[in-house]
Each structure stands twice: as C-alpha cells, then as structure tokens.
Amino acid sequence: MAERTIVEYPHPALRRRCAEVTSFDATLATLLDDMRETMDKANGIGLAANQVAVPLRAFTMVIPGASEDDPGEFVELVNPVIVGKRGEVRNEEGCLSFPELYEAVLRAAEVDVQYDDRNGVAHRRTFAQIAAVCVQHEIDHLDGVTFVDRLSPLKRRLALRAFQRAQLARQVEAAEDRRAAVRGRA
C-alpha cells in the first residue's frame, strides 16, 4: 500500500464527473488499498477516488463505532448509486480537500445504496446517521460536487473566502519552512 496525495480545492479533479469502474482488476485493488491508507493517515472518515486525482466512481469510508474504543467498520463502495432516501439531518461536515473548513449541510438521514465491491459483485445496503451523510458527501464528490456547493450562495462565498485565506496562510508558512530548511543546509 502507498499513501497518495489528496488534492485540495480548487484542484480541477474535484470538479470532474467520475467514470464508472468497468475493470475489477489489480489496479482497482491497489487504488482502494492506497485510498484506505491515505484516508487513515489523514484521519478522515471518507475519501473519494477523485480526491487522489483518479476519476473513477469509488470511495472508501469508515462507519464510526458505537464507542470511543470501537475503531468502526471500514467499507469501500464502487459504482455507488443511491436508490432510496428517508428523513433529513443537518450535520457539521468537513472534507479532506478543504482542510479546517466545517459547515452544516442538510442531507437525507438514511440512504439505500446499490454498489459493487472490488471484485465486481453487486451489493445493496442501508446507511444511517453519520454513515448516510458520508455516503452522500462522497457520491457528490464522484459527481464533481463538493459540500460547499450544498451551501446557500452567501454561505458558500463566505466559506470559500475563509478557506482560501487560511489556505494561503498555510502555503506561505510552508514556503517559509522550506526556505528555513534550505538555509539550515547551507
């Protein structure tokens, strides 16, 4: 397994509608293994393939456990399609492609999903609560939609402005760290 680079907004990979997976081969298995490692290292609970710049319809996710010491259940969904939705829930969401940005988004409280596993075998499963929110957030990614797109125009503008300001500050800080490292070597 290998960790991959997570792309941040406004990377164009986040805007692309991903293609159906048709080859359930070793390349797909490696991608899913790498996504799991990348998601775990970033302390995320969901990661879509286009967040590592691979435009395929697949995501990895952790269904949170019942208690603090329950690590939860790891799942991977290929070609996921929501076939049923019930209820509403408003939840504070974050995204590995928008570090440090959290916004409340309205989603269905429960979703029925059809999907394939890594071997191309079809499944159907119902997800609720945080897992349902996560599934909707990740399937949005596969359609080129981010959680910021689910905000009102005003909230979206404010959120993106705050995010880009913080992102710029992080980039300046990283550049200063690199310069300091170069001086250290001289």
Positions annotated as catalytic residues are 138
Q: How far is the CB of 155 from Co ion (least distance, A)?
A: 17
With CB under 5 A as the rule, give the number of residues binding Co ion: 1
Q: Which is nearer to Co ion, 15 or 24 (CB)?
A: 15
Q: Which is nearer to Co ion, 11 or 120 (CB)?
A: 11
Rounded Cα distance, 184 and 186, in Å: 6
Q: How far is the CB of 105 from Co ion (least distance, A)?
A: 11
Q: How far is the CB of 147 from Co ion (least distance, A)?
A: 6
Quick check: 132 binds Co ion (CB under 5 A)?
A: no
Hey, which residues between 67 and 96 contact Co ion (CB under 5 A)? 95
Q: Which is nearer to Co ion, 54 or 95 (CB)?
A: 95
Q: What is the 3-state secondary structure (H, E, C) of 62-85?
A: EECCCCCCCCCEEEEEEEEEEEEE
Q: Does residue 113 sit in helix, strand or coil?
A: strand
Rounded Cα distance, 95 and 76, in Å: 17
Rounded Cα distance, 93 and 106, in Å: 10
Rounded Cα distance, 99 and 163, in Å: 8
Hey, which residues between 95 and 114 contact Co ion (CB under 5 A)? 95
Q: What is the binding site for Co ion (CB under 5 A)?
A: 95
